[in-house]
Structure 1
Amino acid sequence: MVRNPERRTALVDAAIEVLARDGARGLTFRAVDTAAAVPNGTASNYFSSRDDLLSQVTDRVHQCIAPDPDEVAEVMAAPPSRALVVELMHWINRRVTENRTGYLAMLELRLEATRRPELQAELTRVMRESLDENLRFHLEGGLPGDRTAVMLMYLAMTGLMVEQLTLPGVVPAEGTDELVSALVDRATGPERE
């Protein structure tokens, strides 16, 4: 069968929508076909198994939620400072709100990975590479805070994302800006002059 790369991408994007909306249990080839508005059986022609589909969703969702390199360059044009770190954390928080589907799909992948060792290995690899890149970006960019501070911010922001995506009433939206600023202040320590 001839493989159409655009159709494959459309199917994976539809799978992300299904995963975010219906969870891992709802992610079937038929549900993907329906979401992509293609004939039944199309997804099964493009993916050898559900595990193959999940693997491709892992790669694609990470591409979809990754920041645009031009936007990163624009933000990083400012001198390294605590204010810049605060802005970067606010930016991450806004990105979660703007791409709710992608981040919900990522949460579903994380949960499904607890039951699928191969997916866990793949997702761990992808997330570890992303975390290593974030650490490198922060430290090489001369931003305030050491490796431990970056890890603390990563873990705190991940927790905030989970709350906002799953139980938005737990942490009121109007209080997140102050929490993020306090997080950066406490994680990076006293401002140096």
Structure 2
Amino acid sequence: MVRQNVARRAALVDAAIEVLAREGARGLTFRAVDAQAEVPTGTASNYFSSRDDLFTQVGGRIYERLRPDPATIAASLSGPRDRERVSELMHELVDRVSAFRSGYLALLELRLEATRRSDLRAVLTERIRADVDANVGHHLASGLPGDETTVVLLYLAMNWLIVERLTLPGVFGEEEIHTLVTTAVERLLPADQ
């Protein structure tokens, strides 16, 4: 019974991600989530105490789904520790995050909604700060070139490139995106590092 409830909650949160990405924060209602999840009306309201709770659950779930799988993490620790490897990792990151389009768009909606909801802002601030810190820690521990500032600048550059790719795909073509990722790494990590 508990396993089914956990699975149903996850399905509802996944449905909420799709609604949020498609309809925005104003469109994220319990009824819309029920319809997206194809469950009886009223189901979502039995699982979430409020829209704020739903927003918070969506934020956490997006990060669960964006997290690289163990094979990707292991692969990041293999091979040479040089600028080219960092470039490969940034390409993998941009492609992996872009592949979960609805999740990233929902995250952008959550960020906008966080400007109006202090509880959501606190949750997202804590979660995103932890993500940045984890990325910095992983990078430094891996022996890859670059310092904390390099990782943060790459984080910022890759995030905005993903925003462009997902929201206005006509701004930069795929070949140009590839070139921009490589160039960002080359400019932030001189060849002698």
Q: TM-score range by the shorter chain?
A: over 0.9
- Match in the other structure for 1:18: 19
Is contact 1:146-1:188 (8 Å) kept? no
Is contact 2:83-2:191 (8 Å) kept? no
Find the aligned partners of 1:117 and 1:171 in 2 and give their Cα distance: 35
- Superposed CA deviations along residues 126-163 of structure 1, whole A, max 9, x for unmatched, are 00000000000111111111111111111111110111
Is contact 1:78-1:84 (8 Å) kept? yes
- Match in the other structure for 2:154: 153
Identity of aligned residues (%): 57
Structure 1 segments of 4+ aligned residues over 6 angstroms from their partners: none
- Tell me the TM-score normalised to structure 2 length: 0.95
Is contact 1:24-1:108 (8 Å) kept? yes
Equivalent residues, number: 191
Find the aligned partners of 1:161 and 1:107 in 2 and give their Cα distance: 11
Find the aligned partners of 2:148 and 2:191 in 1 and give their Cα distance: 16
- Tell me the TM-score normalised to structure 1 length: 0.95
Is contact 2:83-2:145 (8 Å) kept? yes
Q: Which runs of 5+ in 2 are unaligned?
A: none
- Match in the other structure for 1:88: 89
Secondary structure of the 1:35 match is helix
Q: Which moved more, 1:31-40 or 1:99-108?
A: 99-108
Q: Which runs of 5+ in 1 are unaligned?
A: none
Find the aligned partners of 1:160 and 1:100 in 2 and give their Cα distance: 13
- Match in the other structure for 1:54: 55
Matches within 5 A, 1:125-140: 125-140=126-141
